[in-house]
Structure 1
């Protein structure tokens, strides 16, 4: 629900990092994240469109969700990320059920083979991890800039790989180890160069990444064999996450968000925000299989760069040269990490041939 991977693009990424060429995430908000590849689902996109159009729509919606959430939680002073996340999840729960009744976008429901036993044992634990990921990621936006959070999110792939190795799902090889060092060094350099560094925000985002990585690994362990398209995943996970988050509101935020939401945010903007997040999940359905994994990976990089630029231009964030250098290293590492070895080798040979002329 997917998903990535943050306010996590309150989308709900529901698939593994290996299925997501750039980010940690899949649905309801970016955790980060990035477009899923052809491997995300066995279901073809509902209609064939020009890939460039689909990618541009995805980038616009994903970036809009992140910037809107940051604006609400930071600039508008509505510091209630659990409430905001819960509103998105309730909105998605209702919206996806309307789509199930009125369109063919959720025809995959009949193939999901979901039973109550599987729902309790598999869906609920993953939903709990996802709720924690969303809440902590959104908490970070209260104190950290969008640009810095995007840089920190580059570490999600490393976190997922590390947990996958510990869980016995992946093996570390020399190439991967070098890439991990490059990404980690880039993120560390970007963090070192952050002017407005706030430790609490850094800890919140780190916890969000940790829970996101745990969720993605749990999906590989617990949902193997299930055919879950992005919207089918949203159909199953959104109500669980909404219910779990609703239980947290009275203890951590109380009645304050209900008293302040109309004055500080306003109903029209709140609905627009939730609608954008929901449309992002619908866009993912058309994005799947629309282009090669390399194109989608590069699209994710472009989206991240545009988000950092948008954070500077729209929200007044400050990005130092040290951060740009570190983030460039991390993004380069991510592209190599998400691209098949043979494709990387082909491009290296082309570059060598051009330089030798």
Structure 2
């Protein structure tokens, strides 16, 4: 029994590490599709990634790796799953659209703003209580991101549409996270169930969007691009499955706060990759703004860890 916490910790570390690697790799692979191959169809790219995730989830179930509970009732699907699926669809579309218009490094700097929106939504729905450390952390995150945006506005790589797409993806991502917390409650999915019951419907919406808005029908010239370099597309779609699988796996064995901290570290790594590999220009003002945003997130993280430790201490006293 004593080894159980350590095995759980090990699984959490391994799962989070794999997610950080796979997520960073997917960002780079998708950026390559959009920029180097000029395949500017975010609906299709994300839709195929979700389709691979759906098929991967079914494969895990078929091999007996993970169980799959029966399909939820229609009322549950409509009132609880559908809002999560729609917000996931919007997040993936807007998030990938951002990579068409902004540099890799700048997007990672902007991602520091997403926790601020998530915190605000948590306060609105009652998952968080507003107090001065929370206000301070939100203010620092917002101030740091705003400075980075103001500095980037004069760069040739900056496009207002890209910023709009990022803000839309941040809002829908925050809605997805908070919505999952409120709507699913104790009804937690394992990795395979999440891939099948969330990834499957999300793939349908995204691929429908690819047909309607991106013209990815049977006669589309996009298929010729895919035929020229199929390995690049296959790698991106497979990596999307691995990102989703490792994400759901890591969340099961670690806290959501730890996962957010890992995401922050991962984003810093991608920023430096963009600077080194793509020669993207990031000014000292932007890095300073990014640092302020990270400090704001660190304040919130410290606060949450203190609250958790206090709660666990009280529970031990009650048991004694």
Do 1:58 and 1:283's aligned partners in 2 also have CA atoms closer than 8 Å?
yes
| Contact 2:112-2:141 within 8 A present in 1 as well | yes
Root-mean-square deviation (CA, aligned residues, Å) is 2.9
Contact 1:297 1:335 in 2 (8 A): no
State which of 173, 196, 200 in structure 1 corresponds to 2:161: 200
1:304 and 2:247 correspond = no
Which runs of 5 or more structure 1 residues have no equivalent in the other structure? 1-43, 347-357
Cα distance in 2 for residues equivalent to 1:269 and 1:210? 30
SS of the aligned residue for 1:154 comes to: helix
Instruction: Spell out, residue by residue over 1:55-95, the C-alpha distance to the aligned partner (whole angstroms, 9 max, x if none).
Output: 44332211101111112112321110001011111111111
3-state secondary structure, aligned to 1:61:
helix
Which residues of 2 match residues 278-289 of structure 1 at below 5 A? Answer: 278-284=241-247, 287-288=250-251
Aligned length: 300
- Residues 1:171 and 2:134 aligned together: no
CA shift in 2, pair 1:252/1:193, >3 Å: same
- Structure 2 counterpart of 1:23: none
User: What corresponds to 2:299 in structure 1?
Assistant: 336
Q: What SS is found at the alignment partner of 2:209?
A: helix
Structure 1 contact 164–217 (Cα < 8 Å) conserved: yes
Higher helix share: 2
Of 157, 176, 185, the residue aligned with 1:224 is 185
Deviates more, 1:132-141 or 1:67-76: 67-76
Please, which moves more after superposition, 286-295 or 77-86?
A: 286-295
Bigger RCO of structures 1 and 2 (CA < 8 A, at least 6 apart) = 2
Match of 1:263?
A: 225
8 Å CA contact 2:191, 2:249 repeated in 1: no
Structure 2: how far apart are the matches of 1:49 and 1:167?
Answer: 33
Quote the offset at 1:127 in angstroms. Answer: 0.6
- Where do 5+ consecutive residues of structure 2 fail to align? 310-320
2:176 to 215, 219, 234: 215
- Cα deviation, residue 211, structure 1: 1.3
Q: Is residue 98 from structure 1 mapped to residue 59 from structure 2 by the alignment? A: yes
Contact residue 61 and residue 276 of structure 1 kept, 8 A: yes
Residue 190 of structure 1 contacts residue 323 of structure 1 at CA under 8 Å; is this kept in 2? yes
Q: 1:117 aligns with which of 75, 79, 99?
A: 75
- SS of 1:155's equivalent in the other structure is helix
Given the alignment, which residue of 277, 281, 294 partners 2:240?
Answer: 277
TM-score, normalised to structure 2's length? 0.83
Distance (Å, rounded) in 1 between the aligned partners of 2:240 and 2:7: 20
- Rg (Cα) greater in structure: 2
Cα distance in 2, alignment partners of residues 291 and 241 from structure 1 = 25
Q: CA shift at 1:296, angstroms?
A: 5.1
- Please give the alpha-carbon distance, in whole angstroms, between the structure 2 residues aligned to 1:283 and 1:328: 28
Aligned counterparts, 1:245-260, within 5 A: 245-255=206-216, 258-260=220-222
Cα displacement string for residues 88-110 of structure 1 (whole angstroms, at most 9, x for unaligned residues) = 11111111101111032x33x33
The whole-number CA distance in structure 2 between the counterparts of 1:239 and 1:341 is 34
Q: Distance in 1 between matches of 2:89 and 2:255?
A: 31
In the alignment, structure 1 residue 319 sits paired with structure 2 residue 282: yes
Cα separation, partners in 2 of 1:240 and 1:52, compared to 1, 3 Å: closer
CA shift at 1:188, angstroms?
A: 0.7
Distance (Å, rounded) in 2 between the aligned partners of 1:342 and 1:45: 19
For residue 303 of structure 1, report the CA deviation from its aligned partner. Answer: 1.4
CA distance in 1, matches of 2:6, 2:213: 40
Equivalence for 2:118: 160
